[in-house]
Amino acid sequence: QKEVEQDPGPLSVPEGAIVSLNCTYSNSAFQYFMWYRQYSRKGPELLMYTYSSGNKEDGRFTAQVDKSSKYISLFIRDSQPSDSATYLCAMSSPSGGSYIPTFGRGTSLIVHP
Partner 1 sequence: DAGVIQSPRHEVTEMGQEVTLRCKPISGHDYLFWYRQTMMRGLELLIYFNNNVPIDDSGMPEDRFSAKMPNASFSTLKIQPSEPRDSAVYFCASSTNRNTEAFFGQGTRLTVV
Please give the residues from 50 up to 109 whose contact with partner 1 meets the rule CB under 8 A: 88, 92, 96-106
Q: How far apart are CA 35 and CA 18, in angstroms?
A: 17
Q: How far apart are CA 39 and CA 57, in angstroms?
A: 22
- Within 10 angstroms of residue 84's Cβ, the number of other Cβ atoms is 17
In the complex, minimum distance from the CB of residue 25 to partner 1, in angstroms, rounded to a whole number: 14
34 is a site residue for partner 1 (CB under 8 A) = yes
In DSSP terms, 61 is beta-bridged to 58, 76
In the list 17, 49, 62, 75, the residue contacting partner 1 (rule: CB under 8 A) is 49
Contacting positions for partner 1 (CB under 8 A): 6, 8, 32, 34, 41-46, 49, 88, 92, 96-106
